[in-house]
């Protein structure tokens, strides 16, 4: 009878030992699995952070292009407006000068019919001076008009370039904005999942 009890005790001890070994193996496997899961989450979050940063850089690049486009539009518009004002002022001034020149020359031409040779000679000299001055003024006016027309043309080029650039960049800006938003949402979701898992692991640790 005693032998039977001893055999039973040894058998129960062996079973208990095996059960403990199994439990230890399961616990170790669970810890390893949890550790691997945490590592995967951390790697995924790091990957998503990189994607967010890349998306942000791409988006900021497009924003800078939009700023450049706006600057071209502003500069182009200003150049056209300034050249238009300059041309109007120059045309108005030259119109007044033409009238003044015509009046002065007519007055001098009348003196050419004078009986006084000295008066005629003086009138001829004044006409020569007047014509030379007027010719120089016409040359300066033409140069001014040429410069302002070029400025207006350059302004139009800048304006058209800015509008085209803004139209093309506007589409890319929407795309980069969408990519950045999606990347940020993905990162926030991954962090939220990791945060939700963390307290559960903490509670298990406390129970142990």
* 189, part of any domain: no
CA-based max dimension of the chain: 172
Same-domain pairing of 15 and 75: no
108 pLDDT more than 80: yes
Same-domain pairing of 27 and 74: no
C-alpha to C-alpha distance for 72 and 159, rounded to whole angstroms: 6
| Domain region containing 34 | 1-38
Same-domain pairing of 34 and 71: no
Higher confidence at residue 94 or residue 171?
A: 94
| 189 neighbors 58 (Cβ within 8 angstroms) | no
Provide the number of structural domains found in the chain: 2
Q: What is the pLDDT of residues 150-163, one digit of tens each?
A: 999 999 999 999 99
- Would you tell me how many other CB atoms lie within 10 Å of the CB of residue 148? 20
Eight-class DSSP state of 185: H
* 51, part of any domain: no
- Would you tell me how many other CB atoms lie within 10 Å of the CB of residue 206? 6
202 pLDDT more than 50: no
5 pLDDT more than 50: no
* 54, part of any domain: no
Same-domain pairing of 163 and 93: yes
C-alpha to C-alpha distance for 60 and 56, rounded to whole angstroms: 6
| 64 neighbors 166 (Cβ within 8 angstroms) | no
9 pLDDT more than 70: no
According to the 3-state scheme, what is the secondary structure of 133-182? HHHHHHHHHHHHHHHHHHHHHHHHHHHHHHHHHHHHHHHHHHHHHHHHHH
| 69 neighbors 165 (Cβ within 8 angstroms) | yes
C-alpha to C-alpha distance for 174 and 180, rounded to whole angstroms: 10
Tell me the angle at which helices 2-111 and 117-207 cross, rounded to the nearest 10 degrees. Answer: 170
- How confident is the model over 2-19, as a mean pLDDT? 51
C-alpha to C-alpha distance for 76 and 163, rounded to whole angstroms: 10
pLDDT band at 37 (very low <50, low <70, confident <90, very high): low
Same-domain pairing of 106 and 17: no
Specify the pTM: 0.63
pLDDT of the residue at 165: 94
């Amino acid at each position: 009878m005693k032998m039977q009890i001893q055999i039973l005790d040894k058998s129960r001890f062996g079973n208990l030992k095996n059960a403990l070994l199994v439990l230890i193996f399961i616990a170790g496997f669970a810890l390893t699995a949890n550790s691997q899961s945490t590592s995967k989450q951390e790697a995924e979050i790091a990957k998503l952070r990189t994607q967010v940063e890349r998306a942000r850089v791409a988006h900021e690049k497009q924003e800078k292009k939009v700023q450049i486009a706006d600057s071209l539009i502003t500069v182009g518009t200003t150049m056209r407006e300034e050249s238009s004002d300059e041309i109007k002022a120059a045309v108005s001034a030259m119109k007044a000068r033409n009238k003044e020149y015509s009046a002065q020359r007519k007055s001098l031409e009348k003196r050419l019919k004078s009986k006084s040779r000295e008066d005629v000679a003086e009138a001829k000299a004044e006409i020569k001076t007047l014509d030379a001055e007027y010719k120089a003024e016409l040359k300066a006016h033409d140069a001014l008009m040429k410069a302002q027309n070029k400025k207006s043309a350059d302004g139009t080029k800048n304006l058209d370039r800015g509008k085209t650039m803004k139209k093309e960049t506007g589409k890319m800006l929407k795309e980069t904005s969408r990519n950045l938003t999606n990347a940020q949402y993905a990162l926030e979701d991954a962090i939220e999942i990791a945060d939700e898992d963390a307290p559960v692991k903490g509670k298990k640790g406390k129970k142990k």
